Structure 1
């Protein structure tokens, strides 16, 4: 066999080996979502050595009335899936409509996936009654059982925003002082896995991508 033929044969045999090594090295999904809201650091002994592990906050359970009048809990929202949390009030003139218009995109992208839910908490329950939220939800085409607009006791709602999601505490009275445009991605364990600027199309695109990533990790632990 001529040297040129030997070289060609070697190249032909080498190509699938290189392809296999490439796919093995780079074909694995290594995109991992961070976890937000650290609580404290624990030290554990493994193999005679101390290791420090960060313990992350889990959003405590809650119970609020939805636009249908049915009570919804945090455990229900995250059961077998995840939820996207946001804070708003229906009389907000600018940021809330922009944020909710972006959340419509999230709802439509995952319309057929029951593991993905949206929870929008009012910060002005005095105005946002169940009846008012029913009209408000309808204006955004909220799907029953998919996108929940939630109201209830103002103290409980404020505590959820400031203590559980750790938004800045209001400096005075009025819903605008506790309102935020930040949107949160909460996993099945109640941990916050993403924070996004809710009025930004680019950030909401990232939210959609990271929901897909989180669902993938559920299917491929």
Structure 2
């Protein structure tokens, strides 16, 4: 074999080896989810130097009646896992699209007990427990997995505006500018994702990020 051909053959054989060594050394894939809803920036002293650190909002405790009539607390939703939070208005044109997309999330994580879902009524004057029971049946909500929550208007408005930072809709009484947003809340009660609940692409991203979050729990 000619020297030139030997050199070319050697380079061809060397490329996979170099690629393997590169991936082994530098190919660790770490995909960290962002955290949303900052509260304030704090300063801490580390090794004699001041460092600025953002403190993120933790969703406050709540306890609300679900479609079964039983009260559900945030500790039940977030304990050792995560939950997907949404706000719905049955009079909204996007209501059915939102819940149809959430059905996909429930089906994908049907056998994962650490994933729960909470749909908060944005119209508690209309959405009694009996009405919520019909919603839950319509969308195939699994008991203990997907909770449709209602309650008094003041409590629900507090959850929406103070805990999830939704804004009151202009010119309405008790309405919300939620835009069918969906939130991913981790076990530390911090918001790790915000999505358009009517978009198939966005819900696909939500399901991927749920898997990422569960992976981090398993490999802490």
- Counterparts of 1:50-61 in structure 2, within 5 Å, are 50-61=50-61
- The Cα RMSD (Å) is 2.1
Shifted more, 40-49 versus 162-171: the winner is 162-171
After superposition, the Cα gap between the structure-2 partners of 1:81 and 1:168, relative to the gap in structure 1 and judged at 3 Å, is same
**Separation (CA, whole Å) in 1 of partners of 2:113 and 2:143:** 11
Contact 1:158/1:178, CA 8 A, preserved across alignment = no
Contact 1:67/1:149, CA 8 A, preserved across alignment = yes
SS at match of 2:101: helix
**Separation (CA, whole Å) in 2 of partners of 1:79 and 1:93:** 31
Contact 1:88/1:180, CA 8 A, preserved across alignment = no
**Separation (CA, whole Å) in 2 of partners of 1:14 and 1:157:** 61
Residue ranges of structure 1 left out of the alignment (5+ in a row): none
**Separation (CA, whole Å) in 2 of partners of 1:151 and 1:94:** 20
**Separation (CA, whole Å) in 2 of partners of 1:163 and 1:178:** 13
After superposition, the Cα gap between the structure-2 partners of 1:49 and 1:179, relative to the gap in structure 1 and judged at 3 Å, is closer
Q: TM-score, normalised by structure 1?
A: 0.91
Deviation at 1:83, TM superposition (A): 0.5
Contact 2:167/2:178, CA 8 A, preserved across alignment = no
Tell me the equivalent position of 2:79: 79
**Separation (CA, whole Å) in 2 of partners of 1:220 and 1:29:** 13
Q: TM-score, normalised by structure 2?
A: 0.91
**Separation (CA, whole Å) in 1 of partners of 2:199 and 2:16:** 45
